[in-house]
Amino acid sequence: MGNETFIRIRGAHAHNLQNVNVDIPRRKLVVITGLSGSGKSSLAFDTIYAEGQRRYINTLSPYARHFMGILEKPDVESIDGLSPVIAIEQKTTGNNPRSTVGTITEISDFLRLLFARASTAYSPVTGKEMVRYTDEQIVDMISHQFKARKCILLAPLVRGRKGHYRELFEQLRKKGYTQVRVDGEVTDLGSLESVDRYKAHFIELVIDKLKPNDEDELRIRKSVASALSMGKGSLAVYDAESQTVNHYSKHLMD
């Protein structure tokens, strides 16, 4: 069935259908239209849906089928390429304006679980696959990608937001930090009282300046842990030689 491109219906006689043969393309939006009494519902509900429901029930155990009753085979000679079916009648099922196909059919929670746990996420902006890293993966990538290169480990604090951030700088000084990177420039906290409150700023806390080598693994681990803690699961590495910034996160990112 997975390779079928059509649902092939042969010899449909339900109600006013008269030996109808039709091929319906799969994975397409298909509209069955016509005059009242022309057999639209007979084809969609009483033939296609009825056969799909019957086939599903036949896959259940005899004990489960006992409680669901026996479904008669629809008046059709054959249907090939049929997928699992869901049918929603055109009628009001409730007064909740937020009802969807998922909530009405009670599969919304299963779909949420499927997409959250088994899917591959892609950025709606860039189209790139989104990834997340563990602490160990981040440590390994920094150790290998920036080996023997001068770099600065940064914890993102503010991303494109306006404000003077006077209180933030004071809190960082009290915690013993000495430098931040404001809009791409590294600045000493001791001489920084505030920034222009009417401009959007990018502020990153300087966690460590290092040139990774094999002897620095413990230092890198501690610095990564501090950066992820201050950056709420995200950190950045500024490569002083290429003047580029690489971002890493324990959350999904592209």
Alpha helices, DSSP H, located in 1-134: 40-43, 50-58, 62-68, 101-104, 108-117
Interval 18-47 mean pLDDT:
93
What confidence score (pLDDT) does residue 24 get?
95
Q: State pLDDT tens for residues 63-85.
A: 888 887 778 899 999 999 998 89
Interval 21-27 mean pLDDT:
94
CATH fold of 135-249: Ribulose 1,5 Bisphosphate Carboxylase/Oxygenase (3.30.190)
Cβ distance 49 to 40 under 8 Å? no
What confidence score (pLDDT) does residue 108 get?
87
Residue 200 has pLDDT above 90, yes or no: yes
Q: Say what the pTM is.
A: 0.59
Interval 28-55 mean pLDDT:
92
Strands of 6-12's sheet in order across: 20-25, 6-12, 76-80
What confidence score (pLDDT) does residue 153 get?
97
Place of tokens 């809190």: 171
Q: Where in the chain is the domain with CATH 3.40.50.300?
A: 6-91
Residue 99 has pLDDT above 90, yes or no: no
What confidence score (pLDDT) does residue 119 get?
86
Q: State pLDDT tens for residues 136-156.
A: 999 999 999 999 999 999 999
Q: Where in the chain is the domain with CATH 3.30.190.20?
A: 135-249
Q: Which CATH number fits domain 6-91: 3.90.950.10, 1.20.1260.10, 3.20.20.80, 3.40.50.300?
A: 3.40.50.300
Round the average pLDDT of the chain to a whole number and report it: 91
**Neighbour-count burial of 41, counting CB atoms closer than 10 A to its CB (0-12 exposed, 13-18 middle, 19+ buried):** middle
Residue of higher predicted confidence among 117 and 32: 32
